[in-house]
Amino acid sequence: MSVGDGEARFSWTPDESAYNPIGMVHGGLLCTPLDFAAGAAVHTRLPTGVGFTSIEIKVSYLKALRADSGDIDVHGRALQIGRRIAFAEAHARNPAGELIGHATTSIAVIRARQRPRAR
């Protein structure tokens, strides 16, 4: 895994335990590393002590994914970070460099709550 300013990249190797009934990796299991990469990319730009969580994610599946596909390269990139909401995207590519999945996501930025002042 590598992380930098607004980016996160890692590889993931699917196996047959992730197969759906038609013999391909279930789409939800490709969604998970895409969501992780996008969130990690946003996290690189947040101050210490500030957290995040996904609000929504849209995934486009472009190619079938099987256990023999090899290592999948997953790359997330922060697009914009506001005070309360961040936006990011992530791409998954097979060893041939072909795009197999793309995600865009909205992420809630979670700041510590301030204690109410005593009156």
* Domain harbouring 13, CATH code: 3.10.129.10
Number of domains in the chain: 1
How far out from the chain centre does Cα 6 lie?
A: 12
pLDDT tens column, 18-41: 888 888 888 889 999 999 999 999
Range of the domain at 88: 2-110
Decide if 116 is inside a domain.
no
pLDDT for residue 114: 56
- Name the nearest CA neighbour of 61 among 33, 94, 102: 102
**Longest CA pairwise span in the chain (Å):** 65
pLDDT tens column, 86-117: 999 999 999 999 999 999 999 999 987 755 66
Q: How confident is the model at residue 3 (pLDDT cuts 50, 70, 90)?
A: very high
E strand map for the chain: 2-4, 7-12, 51-61, 72-81, 85-93, 99-110
